[in-house]
């Protein structure tokens, strides 16, 4: 079923990307609702959807299936320094998920809870900060 849904989304992305965008953001709240109304963001996401579903469907399915797989037993084996970023009003992933992950990952140093943001708006706001942490590991000590 997931494979069929993914290919159906791929058809929408190719021929009716605005409809797929509206479907994905139909239940948006908080910061996501604001982002969905931003034309620059909409153009960016529609381009991303077209690219993702046009040539990278197998990678998308792999990533989603990995995300929903039962991986809780492997969390305690994560030894790299880990930061979690979560929108405080995320209606797709509850904040309790970050709290659980922080408890389970020994090297998890911090949860960055972004107030007023939901799912995509958190990612959109956090991406530059995450890139800066990756670029300058010494910043990690200050975070």
| pLDDT tier at 66, thresholds 50, 70, 90 | confident
Taking 70 as the threshold, does the pLDDT of residue 138 lie above it? no
Looking at residues 37-49, what average pLDDT do you find? Answer: 91
HSE-CB of 102 using CA atoms within 13 angstroms: 14
19, pLDDT greater than 90: yes
Rounded CA separation 142/133 (Å): 10
42 in Cβ contact with 34 (< 8 Å): no
d(CA 120, CA 87) in angstroms, rounded, equals 8
Mean pLDDT confidence for 43-64:
84
Report residue 112: phi and psi, to 5°. Answer: -95, 100
- pTM for this predicted structure: 0.74
């Amino acid at each position: 079923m997931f494979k069929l849904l993914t290919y159906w989304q791929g058809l929408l992305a190719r021929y009716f990307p605005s409809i797929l965008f509206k479907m994905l953001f139909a239940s948006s709240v908080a910061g996501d609702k604001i982002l969905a109304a931003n034309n620059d963001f909409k153009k960016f996401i529609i381009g991303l959807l077209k690219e993702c579903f046009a040539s990278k469907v197998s990678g998308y399915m792999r990533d989603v299936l990995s995300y929903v797989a039962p991986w809780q037993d492997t969390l305690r084996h994560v030894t790299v320094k880990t930061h979690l970023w979560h929108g405080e009003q995320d209606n797709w992933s509850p904040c309790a998920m970050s709290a659980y992950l922080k408890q389970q990952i020994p090297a998890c140093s911090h949860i960055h809870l972004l107030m007023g943001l939901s799912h995509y708006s958190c990612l959109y706001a956090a991406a530059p900060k995450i890139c800066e942490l990756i670029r300058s590991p010494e910043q990690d000590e200050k975070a």
